[in-house]
Amino acid sequence: MGLLWSLVLCILAQAACWGAESPPQQAFSSSPLLSRGCNDSDVLAVTGLALQIINRDQKDGYVLGPNRVHDVWEHRQDSQGSLFYLTLDVLETRCHVLSRKEWKDCGERMLHEAVYGQCKAIFYYDKPKRIIYLPAYNCTLRPVSRRKIYDMCPDCPSPTSTDLSDPRVLEAATESLAEYNSKSTSKQYSLDKITRASSQWVFGPAYFVEYLIKESPCTKPQASSCSLRSSDSMPVGLCQGSLTRARTEKFVFATCDFFMSQVQTPGGENSAVNQSSGSLFRVEQPLQENTTSSSFPIKTTPMRSIQHLPDLNDEKLQGPREKDPQEAFPVQLDLTTNAQGDTLHILGSQQEKLVVLPFPKEQHSAKCPGPAQVTNPLVLPP
């Protein structure tokens, strides 16, 4: 009897173990999004191509360079390509977008004049077919905190308004341009737009400006009688100038970087052939906001935009409370609310049909963010 009872207990124990090891299976729907490493070589290549198109899409402002890949997801399509959902931490460089220079060829700004931010982008990459396509992006940029810079460096230049509300800013631009024109052997240039300005006390008040210039209708012999009025042509260069006063003396400096002429292709700039890693890629046209498509609903928010916000301290935060990341960098990119995705046709290609999913809201990858090129916390979005 004892042996029988022991056998029963053993069978019950085994059944309990089997039940613990094999619970009822639940049906989970697997997401088609693949988490990628933010420092993977192909991810960094895709990031560079995406920023290249974003910069070439701009008509104003400065070239953006990557600081780090904040997050990345890959959605492999039925074709040979993939849609990448990118969140990038970026920094403004010293190059104006009209220069059409690549971000890697542009110098970094010093910390006290840095402008940093975050971009979200949806980017299609088909290496075998050599197709790259950027249907949407949104960036939010802010200047570095002036209060924190002042705490670190009280003598560093302070940003000044460029809307000409300060006449000394305009004076610095016009005086420095006149200095440059005086040394020009033939052509003369006129002021188009002041793009950056700052002030500092050196041995007197000093103003530093950056401004776009156009070719003036004047020539060197006419300089004394010409008003240097602005022509209808496009800006031809970006100048840096300064004006410093010390009692009765003034010191003027100017240097200009002229833009390379851009050869336009019949399809426009966005359909130009780009070179990357020795291979040629066809850049498809971005989706226009007024495009009507039954498979891709119209959105009221711009699908391609860059937003400039004041630094966080200018928004007069109350007490020590810090803004959460969504408030500090309200970067949004919502092309669809359909959890299963919407079909997007690449313009000019009837064969490429992409499934666009809602942009991932939260970071889940353990391999992100990637390493930052500039590690100072003042220029890293949370």
Sign of CA dihedral 67, 309, 54, 294: positive
Residue range 373-379: average pLDDT?
Answer: 95
Strands 131-143 and 304-308: parallel
Q: How confident is the model at residue 130 (pLDDT cuts 50, 70, 90)?
A: confident
pLDDT tens for 298-312 read: 333 468 999 999 988
CA angle 320, 326, 329 (to 5 degrees): 90
pLDDT tens for 196-216 read: 999 998 888 999 999 999 998
Q: How confident is the model at residue 373 (pLDDT cuts 50, 70, 90)?
A: very high
Query: Range with the lowest mean pLDDT among 15-29, 101-115, 149-163?
Result: 15-29
pTM assigned to the model = 0.80
Residue range 183-198: average pLDDT?
Answer: 92
Note whether 144 and 94 are within 8 A (CB): no
The enclosing H or E element of 181 equals helix 167-183
Establish whether the linkage from the previous residue to 377 is cis, with ω within 30° of 0: no
33/46 Cα distance (integer angstroms): 16
Note whether 181 and 219 are within 8 A (CB): no
At residue 349, the pLDDT reads: 54
Residue 293 has pLDDT above 80, yes or no: no
Residue ranges covered by each domain of the chain: 33-145+311-356, 154-219+233-258
Return the bridge partners of 116, or none.
91, 142
pLDDT tens for 56-89 read: 999 999 999 999 999 999 999 987 899 999 999 9
Percent of the chain beyond pLDDT 90?
A: 53
Q: How confident is the model at residue 278 (pLDDT cuts 50, 70, 90)?
A: very low
Query: Range with the lowest mean pLDDT among 101-110, 157-166, 227-236, 361-370?
Result: 227-236
User: What CATH number has the domain spanning 33-145+311-356?
Assistant: 3.10.450.10
229/68 Cα distance (integer angstroms): 43
Question: Are domains 33-145+311-356 and 154-219+233-258 of this chain identical in fold?
Answer: yes
Average pLDDT, the chain: 80
Question: Any idea which architecture 154-219+233-258 has in CATH?
Answer: Roll (3.10)
Residue range 45-55: average pLDDT?
Answer: 96
